[in-house]
């Protein structure tokens, strides 16, 4: 379909961000978008250079509208890729203040996003890295159900993460997965008010869908 799933949009933003210097230095943008398309392809996302360019322009346009306050506060705090774009367009000084978060928890989540983007020594997992882990681990659920040692499976996940540019040991991948699931279950069980709770666990919807569709 033509819809861009969340993790695909995050991958596009990350690749385009990494190549930002090239885009600023080069007069000819078409070959750069070809490169973005090729790198997305390596992650398993098939999009033409033209589609990548269009999507990024749309996301960027909506980001600017949100930042300018024209989209209204509601849109501003719900716009899912705000933090990624905010990092790209250098709001180091304004921090999370530009976002008008709903409450303290939301505000803390935004602050964490910024720490992840600006601190290379951070032990935190950036959002798109967690999404990659969830995607890889859920894709291997059938193997995890089989009897036998799980160590080699986590090694495989660690290697796949490495191919995407994320350097995490198999032990770290396993620990992070267990923590996400523990937090997801706690969030799910703590109350029936799912819409409120889901905001406090950024991966709630992704995991909820995987459990409900029987992938996990």
Please report, in angstroms and rounded to a whole number, the separation of the first and last CA atoms in the chain: 24
pLDDT band at 145 (very low <50, low <70, confident <90, very high): confident
* SS3 state of residue 150: coil
Q: What is the pTM of this model?
A: 0.39
pLDDT of residue 105: 42
Q: What is the pLDDT of residue 205?
A: 66
* Pairwise CA distance, residues 170 & 161, whole Å: 10
Nearest alpha carbon to residue 12 among 128, 90, 117, 166: 128
Q: Is the pLDDT of residue 118 over 70?
A: no
- Domains located in the chain, CATH noted: 6-109 (1.10.10.60), 127-212 (1.10.10.60)
pLDDT digits (tens, 9 = 90+) for 28-85: 999 999 999 999 999 999 999 999 999 988 887 776 676 666 544 444 444 456 665 6
- Higher pLDDT residue, 35 or 210? 35
Q: What is the pLDDT of residues 155-171, one digit of tens each?
A: 999 999 988 888 889 99
Residue in 161, 152, 171 with CA at minimum distance from that of residue 132: 161
- Torsion angles phi and psi, residue 178, rounded to 5: -65, -40
CB 62 within 8 A of CB 71: yes
- pLDDT value at residue 153: 95
Q: What is residue 82's predicted lDDT score, i.e. its pLDDT?
A: 60
Contact, 62 vs 79, CB < 8 A?
yes
In this prediction, residues 192-215 reach a mean pLDDT of: 60
Distance of CA 138 to the CA centre of its chain: 16
Q: What's the rounded mean pLDDT across residues 82-94?
A: 52
Residue-level pLDDT at 187: 65
- The pLDDT assigned to 178 comes to 87
d(CA 198, CA 107): 15
At residue 103, does pLDDT exceed 50? no
């Amino acid at each position: 379909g033509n819809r861009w799933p969340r993790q695909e949009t995050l991958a596009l933003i990350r690749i385009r961000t990494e190549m930002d210097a090239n885009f600023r230095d080069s007069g000819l943008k078409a070959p750069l978008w070809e490169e973005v398309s090729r790198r997305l392809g390596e992650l398993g996302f098939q999009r033409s250079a033209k589609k990548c360019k269009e999507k990024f322009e749309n996301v960027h346009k909506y980001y600017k509208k949100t930042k300018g306050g024209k989209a209204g506060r509601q849109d501003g705090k719900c716009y899912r890729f705000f933090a990624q774009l905010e990092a790209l367009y250098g709001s180091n000084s304004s921090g999370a203040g530009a976002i008008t978060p709903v409450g303290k928890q939301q505000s803390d989540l935004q602050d964490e996003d910024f720490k992840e983007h600006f601190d290379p020594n951070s032990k935190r997992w950036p959002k798109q890295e967690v999404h990659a882990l969830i995607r890889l681990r859920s894709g291997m659920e059938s193997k995890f159900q089989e009897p036998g040692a799980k160590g080699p499976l986590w090694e495989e996940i660690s290697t796949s993460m490495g191919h995407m540019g994320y350097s995490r040991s198999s032990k770290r991948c396993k620990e992070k997965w267990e923590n996400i699931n523990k937090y997801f279950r706690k969030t799910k069980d703590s109350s029936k008010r799912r819409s409120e709770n889901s905001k406090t666990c950024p991966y709630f919807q992704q995991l909820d869908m995987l459990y409900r569709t029987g992938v996990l």
